[in-house]
A and B are shown apart, each in its own frame.
Chain A
Amino acid sequence: MSTIVTRPHRSDDLSDAERDFVQLVTPDGQRRPHPVFDPFLADVTPALIADLYEDLLVVRRIDAEATALQRQGELGLWPPVLGQEAAQVGSAHALRSDDFAFTSYRESAVAYCRGVKVADLLRIWRGTSHGAWDPYEVKIAVPAIVIGVQTLHATGYALGCQKKGSDTVAITYFGDGATSQGDVNEAMVFAASFRAPVVFFCQNNQWAISEPVGLQSHTRLSDRAPGFGIPSLRIDGNDVLAVLAATRMALDRARGGGGPTFIEAVTYRMGPHTTSDDPTRYRDKAELETWARRDPIDRIAAHLDSLGELTDALRARVTATCDAVAADLRAACLALDPPHPLTMFDNVYAHPHSGIDRQRSQFAAYLAMFEQPGTSPEAGA
């Protein structure tokens, strides 16, 4: 058995061939034909690949800029996407505009692709909000921080779509660590029971903070789903075309009434868990170097090059976009001021609540004591 997940305390250092997953573009950029998945890429032109390439680089730039902002004290925390860009960009590009994504907190690349504004990507991490955007506007729920809870929300949302007779699909993103959570397992039970139109998109990035995937499971994560009656795909998560094709296949299946699909996208968290983490305490440099050779952006760049499409014009366009997004991000971050203290009482309930209303008015009176003479509403009265 040559699998990643049966090895208890090491992550993957096997060759691609041994890894037994769907790969449509090799690490050196060669496109491999695949009778099952190619139909899902029939519309993929060099221009679309160039767009994917651009988004991959933009989200990597957002990641770098946000990490820098954290180091400069402008963000409290940032969970880097580095290394997982293809898994997120490829799957997000497969979604229809009305499909709904339910993610964890590392999916800033998915959020960007859904159209979340760059300022909104930062609010949680700058500590100015717990949520930051209107989920109905961008069709992506605000990030879930407790591990795995969002898989149930996605399943419920999918059930709702099914009841309404719409063909909207929910997709939920979670990691290898989350597969140990009861909620993720319950979500698979519920989704299978009701044939809910939901896609379980697991980014196996090999690490749950310091715990290797072998601690979560002694079988491949994708092998678990069939036990719930859910078919699964195991794909190269660093191959953006494989991710796009597999996600489209799963979405189509859900849209057509076929029920849930589980996708294990095998990838790697190249950075720390968050900016507060120190991965040198628990993983080898050699492992990092192995995965660096499988970089998702190098791969699609090599593929574009092989097509003769990695032109100076494209490079210039992508660089300009990245620079513009980074500048926007920095400016938006610095413009995010703390909200007025009394706003912390807002939206606890949809309807008035006498207990909170009383505390708010008492705290307002307390705050008023600190106002400068002449600035309080009562002054001069």
Chain B
Amino acid sequence: MPTLTLAKAITAGLRRSLDSDDRVLLLGEDIGALGGVFRVTDGLQRDFGADRVMDMPLAESGIIGTAIGLAMAGYRPVCEIQFDGFIYPAFDQIVSQLAKMHYRTGGTVRMPITIRVPYGGGIGAVEHHSESPEAYFAHTAGLRVVTCSNPQDAHTMIQQSIACDDPVMFFEPKRRYWTKGEVADVADPPGLGRARIVLPGIDVTVVTYGPLVATALEAAAAASADGVSIEVIDLRSLSPIDFDTVTDSVRRTGRLVITHEAQQSGGLGAEIAAVVTERCFDALRAAPVRVTGFDIPYPAASVEEHFLPDLDRLLDGVDRVLDRANSLSGWTA
């Protein structure tokens, strides 16, 4: 069982998909000779040729729009958007064309397109390189939105995404690209839409995804030393959301904290809090709490550590649902 970084686990998954299905094409900027700015496509053009691993002109709408036509011609394009903040020029093609083509055509035209997006902060980057735009896409009917938190899931989920006949937004937590882990060929992996309990616990359910799964696990370890047992759920899929796994957990713990890097308003945390409140209000022993990025543009790198939820802010949220002393104790607006 090889140990790979998360980035190389995706590379290996892409290689597997390219190998097993001639219809798979990779499209993107700088993905050929360079191997992508994060080297996720390293060596793939050399091994599969420029006809299948294609450097595209520098236009995101053009890449997605062209992929739609290629999919209509029977291909399964995998598009790389270089950074999260560069996806917006392609927004119309993704939201109004890609997401709706199967619906518009009464199911006759399938869109087996995967869009890989390195996302999230914590790498000290300039503006537009640290964003978490997943909620825009989770809000859009017709798209599947997934994100991985570890090398094993990265390897499995990229292959599942490529094999899926629906368009999949595949969000890659770029600050975890260098996280190492064992990667095996799992015979019967969880489905693409399934959440996973990463750490079982008793007192509080922490729901998260992507880059903050590692943070939640660190927080759980710290809380454990303090006698608090946290259950950590890695959502893995943001559309659909596996609410059964979340509500089952909250029915056991009675307490919910949701954490993501993305801004709070209208984010995934709001949806999760609402659904949990609707479906297991009776089981809640405290109001759900969100620990998220603030409702500001992603700030400059020198202060990003204050924007990003970290171990301490997450535990402060845990203290709130446990009604223990916390930063808002005695706080009035």
Task: Give, as a whole number of angstroms, the nearest-CB distance from A158 to chain B.
Answer: 7
Complex contact B62–A170 (CB within 8 A): no
A153→B56 contact, CB < 8 A: no
A132 CB contacts on chain B under 8 angstroms: 106
Distance in angstroms from B77 CB to nearest chain A CB is 8
Give min CB distance, B81 to chain A, whole Å. 15
A15 within 8 A of B: no
Contact with B along A5-44 (1 / 0, CB 8 A): 0000000000000000000000000000000000000000
Taking a contact as CB atoms under 8 Å apart, the answer to whether A354 and B193 are in contact is: yes
Chain A min CB distance to B255 (Å): 24
Give chain A interface residues in 110-166, CB to chain B under 8 Å.
129-132, 134-136, 141-142, 144, 146, 149, 151-161, 163-164
Residue of B nearest to A132 (CB): B106
- Is B31 in the interface zone, CB < 8 Å from A? no
Knowing A160-B72, A353-B240, A354-B242 are in contact, say whether A155-B107 is a contact too (CB < 8 A): no
Q: What number of B residues sit within 8 Å (CB to CB) of A?
A: 46
Q: Is A366 an interface residue (CB 8 A)?
A: no
> How many Å from the CB of A349 to the closest CB on chain B?
5
* Chain A residues, Cβ within 8 Å of B89: 182
Q: Is the CB of A154 within 8 A of B102?
A: no
Given contacts A153-B72, A159-B69, A186-B57, contact A356 B102 (CB under 8 A): no
Q: Which A residues are CB-close (under 8 A) to B88?
A: none
Q: Which residues of chain B are within 8 angstroms of A351 by Cβ–Cβ distance?
A: 164-166
B215 contacts the other chain (CB 8 A) = no
Asked if A190 lies at the interface with its beta carbon under 8 angstroms from chain B, I say yes
A136 CA / B71 CA spacing, docked (Å)? 12
Complex Cα gap A70–B144 (Å):
38
What residues of A have a CB within 8 angstroms of the CB of B142 in the complex?
348-349
8 Å CB contact of B108 from A134, A146, A151 = A134
Residues of A within 8 A of B93 (CB): 149, 152, 183
A314 close to B (CB within 8 Å): no
CB distance from B240 to the nearest CB of A (A): 4
How many Å lie between the Cα of A152 and that of B240 in the bound state?
29
Q: List 22 contacting pairs A-B, 8 Å CB cutoff, sorted by A.
A: A100-B72, A130-B103, A142-B104, A151-B65, A153-B65, A154-B69, A156-B69, A157-B69, A157-B72, A160-B72, A160-B75, A163-B75, A182-B59, A182-B61, A183-B61, A183-B62, A186-B57, A187-B66, A347-B103, A347-B106, A354-B240, A356-B240
Besides the known contacts A153-B68, A156-B69, A156-B71, 17 further A-B residue pairs in the complex with CB atoms under 8 A apart:
A100-B72, A135-B109, A141-B72, A142-B104, A154-B69, A156-B67, A164-B74, A183-B61, A183-B93, A189-B62, A348-B102, A348-B141, A351-B164, A351-B165, A351-B166, A353-B144, A354-B243
Which A residues have a C-beta under 8 Å from some C-beta of B? 100, 102, 129-132, 134-136, 141-142, 144, 146, 149, 151-161, 163-164, 170, 182-183, 186-187, 189-190, 193, 346-351, 353-356
